[in-house]
Structure 1
Amino acid sequence: MTQADRARAFAALHQPGKPLVLYNCWDAGSGAAIAKGGAPALATGSWSVAAAQGYADGEALPLETLLQIATRITIACDLPVSLDFEGGYAGETDALRKNIAGVLAAGIIGINFEDRVVQGQGLHDIDTQTKRIAAIRAEADAHDVPLFINARTDLVLQSDPADHGQHVEAAITRGTAYAEAGASSFFIPGLSDPEMIRSICEAVALPINAMCLDVTADVAPLAATGVSRISFGPAPYRAAMKALTQQAERLYGES
């Protein structure tokens, strides 16, 4: 399959009510292990990728290192791979396009792209963020790759759970604008209320991505809301590291 073929195959996996489930990886080894378990596609989580290299989340991991990790995953794993690209490691659209060219060169077919101001405060306004999404789409088009842009809003994630309801309409407004700018899906991390998720699925003309942070959870109720994608963010890394620590504790506790 060509890179474009992989991107199209990845897009086709997003089905409302029968979502693509992504158990997020953080390097080539974890990606290969998840692929061996039967995953149809892979996606990284920025927190996990950074933590595995000893960095904090929020674009503290050098871009060159991130692209090296991405390249190793795409080489080692014969699956479509989506990269959590946070805010694109750039503010201006020209720099953003250059960085997207690097992502495409790594063999990546999809990205998470968030609207919070990374290493800053708050969110980009809608006009700014739509221009950034449009720039990404233009760069991908220039490479003839239908890059799957998972446009993430942090409206809910940055608010108190008791206030989530008042952000739903604002999230829908952003999702609609991001769709018009060229996004492929809309990601609403932090939102867990089924009816709120359902209302966004019904109002936004994009596949909806919700996040689950419990690796033992039954995803069927979340799938029933109409989402097209469920991802686990940092949860798989935390579960793996907890298991590793427990194994070490048993070993050293016996010595």
Structure 2
Amino acid sequence: MTTNANARAAALRALHVPGSPLVLPNIWDAASARAVVAAGFPVVATGSAAVAPVLGYEDGETTPPGVMFEAVARIARAVPVPVTADLERGYGLAPAELVERLADTGAVGLNLEDSDPATGTMVDAGKQADFLAAVRAAAADAGVDLVLNARVDTFAHGEGTQAQRLAEAVERGRGYLRAGADCVYPILASDPDVIRVLADEIGGPVNVLFRPGVPSLTELGALGVARVSFGHGLHAAAQAHLATMLTAIGSGASPYDA
């Protein structure tokens, strides 16, 4: 990784400000990445559940690693801003190879989740912290600065009451920060009281997934959130609009009135 790439990583990290969140409208290809930059956003983020179907695969680490990294590289080449890539749980790669292959794409950040992409089973918190620490150590050994966003899946795949899942999310988040993560991503957290606890108690930047029912961007900032992602939501909406247009064409109508 070049000095310029490390500077982009530092710039990406600096944008994680609790109360003034970095907003990431996740994209799926070079064209959508360029649209995000044209709209004035300072960072491009991929979403695995959006990129995978574009490449002809299902989400859940069914995309061959080489295919995914090639896609990330095309996106990074297409834009002049930092790129962060959703890499699920690392596609089974050893930390050193994961870091090397990501650095080769030109991306300077990554998401790593703590449930098994194939089964949804939660990974032991200690094991996941060790994995994150190994990724951070591999990056340091390679002279690579990467912004590591540690996804916490307790609200998606955890067990117990909402209060128990919240407590586990806080504990996992703290452990992941100690392991070297820059930001913690408790995906599917949506209740404002829950989000406030996460932001107050994890002890580092918190990422929230924006979707219907989640507080507004302004409200998320007031709750102390440092990063807001859109996941595959924009891609799903674009596909739904395409389906509407195709239905119009099939009925003999103009798709541009749909």
SS in 2 for 1:183: coil
> Alpha carbons of 1:204 and 1:87: their partners in 2 closer, same or farther (altered >3 Å)?
same
* Residue type at the aligned position of 1:158: H
- Alpha-carbon contact 1:215-1:232 (below 8 Å) kept: no
Structure 2 CA distance for partners of 1:123 and 1:219, relative to 1, 3 Å:
same
**Structure 1 residues 216 and 51, CA, compared in 2 at 3 Å: closer, same or farther?**
farther
Amino acid of the residue matched to residue 130 of structure 1?
A
Q: What is the CA-CA distance between 1:215 and the residue it aligns to?
A: 11
- CA deviation after TM superposition for structure 1 residue 100, in Å: 2.1
Per-residue CA distance 1:57-103 (angstroms, 9 max, x = gap): 11001100100000001100111000001101117xxx232122101
Counterpart for residue 90 of structure 1: 92
8 Å contact from structure 1 (residues 111, 149) kept in 2: yes
Question: Which shows bigger deviation, 99-108 or 59-68?
Answer: 99-108
> Any gaps of 5 or more consecutive residues in structure 2?
254-258
Instruction: State the one-letter code of the partner of 2:222.
Output: A
> Of the candidates 35, 52, 61, which is equivalent to residue 50 of structure 1?
52
Deviation at 1:168, TM superposition (A): 1.1
Runs of 4+ in 1 over 6 A off after TM superposition: none
- Mean alpha-carbon deviation: is it higher for 143-152 or for 38-47? 143-152
Match of 1:133 in 2: 132
RMSD: 1.9
Deviation at 1:219, TM superposition (A): 1.7
Aligned to 2:256: none
Report SS of the residue matched to 2:148. strand
Spell out, residue by residue over 1:114-157, the C-alpha distance to the aligned partner (whole angstroms, 9 max, x if none).
11022245211122111100111012112322211000111111
Alignment deviations for residues 14-45 of structure 1 (CA, whole Å, 9 cap, x no partner): 11111000000011111111111111101111
CA distance, structure 1, for counterparts of residue 165 and residue 244 of structure 2: 40
Q: In the alignment, which residue of structure 2 is the partner of 1:169?
A: 167
What residue identity is the alignment partner of 2:105?
A
Matched, 1:228 2:230: no
Partner of 1:183: 181
Worse-matched range after superposition: 151-160 or 33-42: 151-160
Residues 1:19 and 2:18 aligned together: no
1:194/1:157 Cα in 2 relative to 1: closer, same or farther (>3 Å)? Answer: same
Deviates more, 1:96-105 or 1:14-23: 96-105
Taking the aligned partners of 1:121 and 1:14, their CA distance within structure 2 comes to 28
Q: Share of identical aligned residues, percent?
A: 34
TM-score, normalised with respect to structure 2: 0.92
Q: Secondary structure at the match of 1:2?
A: helix
C-alpha displacement of 1:218: 3.6
The SS at the match of 1:83 is strand
- What is the CA–CA distance in structure 2 between the aligned matches of 1:222 and 1:155, rounded to whole Å? 20
The letter of the residue matching 1:204 is I
Query: In the superposition, relative to structure 1, how do residues 245 and 217 fare at CA in structure 2: closer, same or farther (>3 Å)?
Result: farther
Distance 2:74 2:130 in 1: 30
Mapped contact 2:132–2:176 kept (Cα < 8 A)? yes
Output the TM-score relative to the length of structure 1.
0.93
Bigger Cα displacement from structure 2, 112-121 vs 36-45: 112-121
Q: Which AA in structure 1 matches 2:97?
A: K
Q: Which residue of 2 aligns with 1:239?
A: 237
Could you tell me which residue of structure 2 aligns to residue 3 of structure 1?
A: 5
Once the two structures are superposed, residues 137-181 of structure 1 have per-residue CA deviations (whole angstroms, 9 ceiling, x without a partner) of: 012112322211000111111258x93222111111111111111
User: 1:152 is paired with a residue of what secondary structure?
Assistant: strand
Instruction: Tell me how many residue pairs correspond in the alignment.
Output: 251
Structure 1 unmatched ranges of 5 or more: none
- 2:213 and 2:54 map into 1 onto residues whose CA distance is 18
Pair 1:114 & 2:113 matched: yes
